[in-house]
């Protein structure tokens, strides 16, 4: 990683391919990403494996500098006697080992109860049963002859091979994503996420700069040596005079520089020469070395003065390094779809029953009276949904998260059902407040006690993970109200405040947020006032229910004659209900009911406030 909180994930690549890409960029700085990918199609891992991401997905990763590639283990089938066979894995994805795969198989076939749970979850039990029904044995035969050799033996020779492989790949790390995060420290010294073309261009520029500095350094060394040898050559031409001058002079260095055109560097070198270096043979060597250095100087000066020659030199050096240290690609790149084990579900009508304590179950067919079914002690019926086995039940948590529960995973109605935490992983202290089931394209209205709300489609609430997803933004002390489905028969929203005010407005005025959030204001509330309930209604009217004197349940219908009084725009205060009990709930009246606009409600006996008296 890089400092200041930045991370980098750069997968390994093939040296030969990288060298080809660098030479392309060196020869043509305008080389496109597609031209680079033609010679360097993707990462190359030391462990081999197969990259199953499509070329388009790989290109997007290199174009943006961020993403992931999906890598799968490579395997073969070995046929044995009497029709028997076995699966042999010979290459694994990066960051995966034979020991890790064996450990994962052990966890699947012999799962442990999760922390905070008392029994195995339904998913753990289903996975365990599936693995034990198809896998007879697994062993690691890796050794000197083969780096990786994992052998999987099926329970039966009649086992479907493709299904056998799909199950193992989807349940273990033999197939997974390898993250890519191309964060580099560039020539400007700053870490930044960059595209592949930008990285190669900066490296080529850095390499040109490096080779230029190296050439300049070698030229300076050659010139310095030439300077020394020219001084020695002058000494050999006047050897007798130089020896006499050194012998008779009090300061030989100054005397030499005064009599001969020598620099201080040359004079120091002459005075440090040993006597044996004054032989005639040494003079011949000086002439030869001087001649060679002159050629080197001309060559280096030509490189520094000719950009094309310098580029050609760098290209040859890169090619030579690739030849010396490069090898063949180990990772196969062949696009394929992600491995999934789809559970075969029979599409049939069912009724989902939810108890007040949060126990879930399903019963085949529609039209059941769930209130008369048996429940656990101190438990009772809460809500039921008529749907199909291919549908999804959504649970709303107290923290604003939503959880998806496939209806097909629910137990049958013979027992008392299973608790909701067997199908979800709630956050600490979180509780499930509401449940909802609808068609995927159904419009759902979600509101909070703070008076805000949003509209989305039911499919926006569905997630594929047990931990759900954060969808509704809540402030401290706020709660999620029961979600409502908006239909063409019920296009209006009725909002009831804690102060007994009612506001009715069109549902189309509420903002649609597919990814969730805080939403918009549904009703203008007073200080410390809460929104008690919402309902989607039609012009047929609605029922206001609550608690009267003595704790008795009371209700009153707002019919068409009074309905228009509470109509208004979203985010208004609404009108105070003309009732004599504390309203807590709203219910829509069915559109099929026929009401007389001129009919009056049955008179309600006014309540007496004893405390006030």
The closest of 344, 390, 352, 391 to 368, measured between CA atoms, is: 352
Q: What is the spatial distance between Cα 262 and Cα 252, in angstroms, rounded to a whole number?
A: 12
Q: What is the spatial distance between Cα 36 and Cα 197, in angstroms, rounded to a whole number?
A: 8
Q: Are 282 and 246 in contact (CB under 8 A)?
A: no
Q: Is the per-residue pLDDT at 345 higher than 80?
A: no
Q: 451-489 burial, b if ≥16 CB within 10 A, otherwise e?
A: bbbbbbbbebbbbeebebbbbbbbeeebbbbbbbebeee
Q: Is the per-residue pLDDT at 365 higher than 70?
A: yes
Q: What is the spatial distance between Cα 91 and Cα 175, in angstroms, rounded to a whole number?
A: 11
pLDDT band at 612 (very low <50, low <70, confident <90, very high): very low
The closest of 399, 460, 404, 398 to 434, measured between CA atoms, is: 398
Q: What is the mean pLDDT of residues 9-25?
A: 95
- What are the CA-CA distances from residue 400 to residues 217, 437, 478 (Å)? 66, 17, 10
Q: Is the per-residue pLDDT at 601 higher than 60?
A: no
Q: Is the per-residue pLDDT at 594 higher than 50?
A: no
- CATH class assigned to 205-310: mainly alpha
Q: Is the per-residue pLDDT at 380 higher than 90?
A: yes
Least confident of 7-21, 368-382, 581-595: 581-595
Helix (H, G, I), strand (E, B) or coil at 358: coil
- Give 268-272 contacts, CB < 8 A, sequence gap 24+: 269/228, 269/231, 269/232, 270/231, 270/232, 270/235, 270/242, 271/246
Both tokens of 578, joined, read 């003309």
Both tokens of 312, joined, read 């050609």
Q: What is the spatial distance between Cα 527 and Cα 498, in angstroms, rounded to a whole number?
A: 11
Least confident of 234-238, 407-411, 420-424: 234-238
Return the number of other C-beta atoms located less than 10 Å from residue 234's C-beta: 17
Q: What is the spatial distance between Cα 117 and Cα 140, in angstroms, rounded to a whole number?
A: 33
pLDDT for the residue numbered 559: 83
What residue ranges of the chain are covered by domains with CATH 2.120.10.90? Answer: 440-459+473-613
The closest of 303, 296, 92, 76 to 178, measured between CA atoms, is: 92
Q: What is the spatial distance between Cα 136 and Cα 158, in angstroms, rounded to a whole number?
A: 13
pLDDT for the residue numbered 535: 94
Q: What is the mean pLDDT of residues 303-328?
A: 94
Q: Is the per-residue pLDDT at 595 higher than 50?
A: no
pLDDT for the residue numbered 280: 59
Question: Comparing 243 with 172, which gets the higher pLDDT?
Answer: 172
Assign a CATH topology to domain 74-173.
Answer: Gyrase A; domain 2 (3.30.1360)
Both tokens of 551, joined, read 């704790």
Helix (H, G, I), strand (E, B) or coil at 494: strand
pLDDT for the residue numbered 611: 36
pLDDT for the residue numbered 599: 37
What residue ranges of the chain are covered by domains with CATH 1.10.268.10? Answer: 205-310
What residue ranges of the chain are covered by domains with CATH 3.30.1360.40? Answer: 74-173
Q: 116-130 burial, b if ≥16 CB within 10 A, otherwise e?
A: eeeebbeebeebbeb
CATH number of 440-459+473-613: 2.120.10.90
Return the number of other C-beta atoms located less than 10 Å from residue 536's C-beta: 22
Residues in Cβ contact with 397 at an 8 Å cutoff, skipping those fewer than 6 apart:
403, 426, 427, 430, 431, 432, 433, 468, 480
pLDDT for the residue numbered 276: 64
pLDDT digits (tens, 9 = 90+) for 166-218: 999 999 999 999 999 999 888 888 889 999 999 999 999 999 999 999 999 99
Q: What is the spatial distance between Cα 504 and Cα 369, in angstroms, rounded to a whole number?
A: 32
pLDDT over 70 percentage in the chain: 93
Q: 258-272 burial, b if ≥16 CB within 10 A, otherwise e?
A: eebebeeebbebbee
Q: Are 464 and 404 in contact (CB under 8 A)?
A: yes
User: What is the overall mean pLDDT for the chain?
Assistant: 89
Q: What is the spatial distance between Cα 462 and Cα 475, in angstroms, rounded to a whole number?
A: 23
pLDDT band at 278 (very low <50, low <70, confident <90, very high): low
- What are the CA-CA distances from residue 12 to residues 41, 66, 130, 379, 387 (Å)? 13, 15, 36, 58, 50
Q: What is the spatial distance between Cα 264 and Cα 582, in angstroms, rounded to a whole number?
A: 108
Helix (H, G, I), strand (E, B) or coil at 319: helix
Q: What is the mean pLDDT of residues 2-22?
A: 87
Q: What is the spatial distance between Cα 410 and Cα 418, in angstroms, rounded to a whole number?
A: 8
Q: Are 353 and 370 in contact (CB under 8 A)?
A: yes
| Strands 50-51, 332-333: pairing kind | parallel
């Amino acid at each position: 990683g890089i400092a200041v909180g930045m991370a980098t994930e750069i997968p390994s690549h093939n040296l030969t391919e990288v060298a080809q890409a660098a030479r392309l960029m060196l020869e043509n700085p305008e080389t496109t990403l597609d031209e680079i990918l033609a010679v360097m199609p993707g990462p190359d891992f030391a462990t081999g494996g197969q990259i199953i991401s499509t070329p388009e997905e790989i290109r997007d990763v290199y174009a943006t500098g961020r993403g992931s590639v999906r890598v799968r283990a490579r395997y073969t089938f070995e046929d044995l006697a009497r029709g028997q066979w076995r699966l042999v894995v010979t290459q694994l994805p990066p960051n995966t080992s034979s020991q890790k795969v064996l450990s994962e198989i052990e966890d699947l076939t012999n799962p442990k109860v999760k922390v905070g749970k008392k029994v195995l979850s339904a998913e753990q039990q289903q996975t365990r049963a599936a693995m034990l029904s198809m896998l007879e044995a697994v062993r690691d035969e890796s050794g000197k002859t083969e780096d990786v050799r994992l052998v999987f033996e099926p329970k039966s020779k009649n086992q479907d091979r493709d299904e056998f492989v799909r199950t193992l790949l989807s349940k273990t790390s033999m197939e997974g994503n390898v993250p890519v995060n191309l964060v580099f420290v560039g020539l400007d010294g700053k870490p930044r996420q960059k595209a592949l073309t930008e990285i190669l261009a900066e490296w080529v520029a850095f390499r040109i700069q490096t080779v230029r500095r190296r050439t300049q350094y070698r030229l300076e060394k050659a010139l310095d040596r030439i300077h020394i040898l020219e001084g020695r050559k002058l000494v050999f031409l006047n050897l007798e005079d130089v020896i006499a001058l050194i012998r008779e002079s009090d300061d030989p260095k100054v005397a030499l520089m005064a009599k001969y055109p020598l620099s201080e560097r040359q004079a120091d070198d002459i005075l440090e020469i040993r006597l044996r270096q004054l032989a005639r043979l040494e003079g011949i060597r000086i002439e030869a070395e001087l001649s060679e250095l002159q050629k080197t100087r001309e060559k280096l000066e030509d490189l520094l003065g000719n950009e094309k020659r310098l580029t050609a030199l760098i290209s040859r050096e890169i090619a030579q390094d690739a030849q010396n240290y490069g090898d063949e690609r180990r990772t196969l790149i062949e696009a394929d779809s992600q491995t999934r084990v789809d559970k075969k579900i029979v599409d049939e009508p069912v009724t989902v029953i939810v108890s007040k304590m949060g126990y879930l179950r399903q019963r085949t067919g529609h039209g059941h009276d769930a209130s008369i079914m048996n429940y656990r002690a101190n438990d009772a019926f809460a809500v039921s949904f008529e749907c199909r086995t291919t549908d999804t039940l959504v649970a709303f948590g107290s923290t604003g998260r939503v959880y998806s529960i496939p209806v097909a995973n629910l137990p049958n109605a013979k027992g008392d059902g299973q608790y909701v935490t067997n199908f979800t992983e709630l956050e600490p202290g979180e509780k499930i407040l509401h449940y909802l089931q609808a068609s995927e394209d159904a419009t759902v209205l979600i509101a909070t006690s703070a008076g805000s709300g949003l509209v989305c489609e039911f499919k926006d609430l569905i997630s594929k993970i047990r931990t759900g997803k954060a969808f509704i933004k809540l402030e401290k002390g706020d709660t999620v109200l029961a979600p409502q489905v908006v239909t063409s028969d019920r296009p209006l929203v009725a909002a009831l405040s804690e102060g007994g005010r009612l506001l009715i407005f069109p549902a189309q005025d509420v903002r649609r947020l597919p990814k969730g959030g805080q939403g918009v204001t549904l009703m203008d509330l007073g200080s410390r006032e809460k929104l008690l309930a919402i309902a989607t209604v039609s012009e047929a009217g609605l029922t206001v229910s609550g608690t009267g004197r003595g704790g008795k349940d009371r209700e009153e219908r707002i019919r068409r004659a009074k309905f228009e009084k509470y109509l208004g725009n979203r985010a208004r205060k609404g009108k105070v209900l003309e009732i004599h009990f504390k309203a807590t709930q709203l219910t829509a009246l069915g559109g099929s009911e026929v009401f007389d606009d001129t009919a009056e409600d049955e008179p309600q006996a006014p309540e007496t406030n004893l405390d006030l008296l």
